């Protein structure tokens, strides 16, 4: 696709500076959440399950 970029970089420094924003999860926690979710999806796809993923994730990880 000609409109796609090869590299995307996020920078939260402006949000930190102007809004006092701080992340609630660390990078390592985010990676774990994403991998856990991908594993759940893969398992459910293999089993043919059809569930509400948002409710499942909220129950599994609670409030972050």
Question: Once rounded to an integer, what is the mean pLDDT over residues 3-30?
Answer: 91
pLDDT value, residue 51 = 56
Phi, psi of 38 (to 5 degrees): -60, -40
Distance of CA 32 to the CA centre of its chain: 9
Question: Once rounded to an integer, what is the mean pLDDT over residues 4-13?
Answer: 87
pLDDT value, residue 38 = 93
pTM, to two decimals: 0.52
**Model confidence pLDDT, tens digit, residues 17-60:** 999 999 999 999 999 999 999 998 888 877 766 556 666 766 77
Query: Where do the domains of the chain lie?
Result: 24-61
Distance CA 53, CA 38 (A): 11
The answer to whether the beta carbons of residues 12 and 21 sit under 8 Å apart is yes
pLDDT value, residue 54 = 63
């Amino acid at each position: 696709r000609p409109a796609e970029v090869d590299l995307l970089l996020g920078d939260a420094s402006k949000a930190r500076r102007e809004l006092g924003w701080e992340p609630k999860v660390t990078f390592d926690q985010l990676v774990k959440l994403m991998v856990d979710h991908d594993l759940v999806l893969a398992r459910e796809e293999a089993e043919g399950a059809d569930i509400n993923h948002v409710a499942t994730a909220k129950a599994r990880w609670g409030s972050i």
